[in-house]
Each structure stands twice: as C-alpha cells, then as structure tokens.
C-alpha cells in the first residue's frame, strides 16, 4: 500500500512537471530574451552618434551590393559570411536588433543567421537578404520557428493580418512596417523575397502548417512612418498570467510533496 501511494505520488509530480514544462520554459526564455534586449538598448545608447552613423553607413553600403529583382543569394562564401557577421554587431553577441509585434505580444532579439542553434532559442536574420536598417530597394527577411515547447517565438504570427504592424529596432532607430501581403510557399521558393525597386520591405518567415512544417508562411510588410519610438524601452514586465501560473504550479507541487511526506510519517507512527 505504501509503495503504491509513493509510486502514484511520484507519477503525479512528474506528470505535473511535464504538463507545466512549456509554460515554465517559455516564461524563462521570455525573461532571458527581454534581458538581452535591455542589454542591447543600453549598448546602443552608449554608442556615440559618430560610431552609430558609421555602422549605419556600412550597413547601407552592404545592402546596396545586393541585386534588385533577383532571387536572394542565400549561399555565402567564407569571406562573405565574415563580412556579414561584422555588420551591426554592437554587443558582440550576434544580435543586430530586435523586433516587436504588438498583436501577438512578442518582442524578440534578432540574431545574425538562421542556424538551427539560433532558431531553437531565438529568431534570425536570413543571410543574403538586406540588413534590417531600412531604405529604398531593401528587403530584409527574419526567420523564426513556431510550436517549440521551450519558446513561442513566431508561433502566433499566423494571426497577423493585412494592415497589422510590427517594428524593428536597430542602432537605436525604430522602423515600422505594415503588413501588405501574406503567402504560403514551398521551402525552396524564395521568389517573394526579392528586393523590389524603390520599396522598403521586411518579410517574416516561419514553418506551416503548425506541427507539419511542409511549407513556409511569409508575412511581408512595407515601411510606414513610426508614430511612437520604442527604441529606448527596457525589458518588459513579466506577464501576470505567467506569474500566476508559476505560483499556482509551485503551490500545487508543494502540497503534493508535503502531503506525501506527512502520509509517510503517519504510516511509520
């Protein structure tokens, strides 16, 4: 009888931990991402105006080298990769800026490249496309996973609709983009990622359908005037819902453990 109660108590605790893992892991990841953004903001604010302008000019020159009206060349040589990695890397962490998507309550740092190591914990800029500093004749592409148990990332960007907005902040400059086109394509179809003459575009990319991932969801936006700069904002406050879930989880697990301990003491008495 004693062994049976202990066994089922352990099973219950393990089950609770498994169920709560996505919530707990996503909460931790969100706080970590928020701190990275706060550190990035501090670094950009400490950067002199001259240095900031030099980095912006270098990024603009990089973008001007990319071809208009051609499929982006996503295969970089070693020297091209090295030159790319040096762009916009203020903090020496690989972060080139951050994106904010108000409709789905996401604020995420943007890293150089889309290696799986990056996409498991964050979102990445697709090397070979324009750097996200704006300007006519640019088309930056930002990629992120959806459906990860450890982080939401781009899980909810399928909720975006035409005319919704998102912002990208880099070098203490906040650029606003309004969604104007949403499409689903095969993974190797990059024709919609082309630079278009005279346009300032950003496309968000993720896998679709959810859990199947046979295609890619593209959410494109064109640049509009930024109403309220957000570049100086620090880390976000933790979600009250997440805090309550964490508190309830801790209390529930504590009650289970205390109950099991007291039951064992009574059984021994």
**Which residues have CB under 8 Å from 248's CB, separation 6+?**
none
Q: For residue 132, give Cα distances in angstroms to 117, 121, 150, 169, 200.
A: 21, 20, 26, 8, 10
Evaluate whether 37 touches 163 at the Cβ level (below 8 Å). no
Question: Which among 186, 196, 36 is positioned nearest to 111, based on CA atoms?
Answer: 36
Under 8 Å between Cβ of 127 and 114: yes
The number of helices, as runs of H, and strands, as runs of E, in the chain is: 5, 8
Token pair listed for 46: 């400490």
CA dist 180 and 140 (Å) reads 15
Catalytic residue numbers, as ranges: 145, 207
């Amino acid at each position: 009888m004693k062994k049976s109660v202990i066994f089922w108590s352990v099973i219950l605790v393990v089950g609770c931990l498994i169920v709560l893992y996505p919530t707990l892991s996503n909460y931790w990841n969100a706080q970590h991402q928020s701190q990275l953004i706060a550190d990035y903001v501090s670094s950009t604010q400490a950067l002199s105006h001259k240095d900031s302008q030099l980095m912006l000019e270098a990024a603009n020159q990089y973008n001007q080298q990319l071809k208009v009206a051609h499929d982006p060349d996503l295969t970089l040589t070693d020297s091209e990769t090295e030159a790319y990695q040096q762009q916009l890397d203020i903090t020496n962490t690989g972060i080139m800026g951050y994106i904010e998507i108000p409709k789905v309550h996401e604020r995420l740092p943007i890293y150089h490249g889309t290696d799986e190591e990056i996409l498991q914990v964050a979102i990445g800029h697709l090397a070979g496309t324009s750097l996200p500093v704006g300007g006519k004749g640019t088309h930056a592409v930002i990629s992120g996973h959806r459906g990860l148990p450890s982080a939401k990332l781009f899980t909810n960007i399928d909720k975006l609709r035409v005319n919704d907005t998102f912002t990208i902040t880099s070098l203490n400059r906040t650029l606003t983009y309004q969604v104007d086109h949403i499409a689903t394509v095969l993974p190797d179809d990059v024709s919609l990622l082309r630079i278009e003459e005279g346009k300032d575009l950003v496309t968000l990319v993720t896998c679709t359908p959810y859990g199947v991932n046979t295609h890619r969801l593209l959410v494109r936006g064109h640049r509009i005037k930024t109403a309220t700069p957000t570049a100086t904002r620090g880390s976000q406050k933790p979600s009250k819902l997440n805090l309550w879930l964490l508190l309830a989880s801790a209390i529930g697990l504590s009650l289970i453990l205390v109950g099991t301990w007291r039951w064992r003491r009574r059984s021994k008495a």
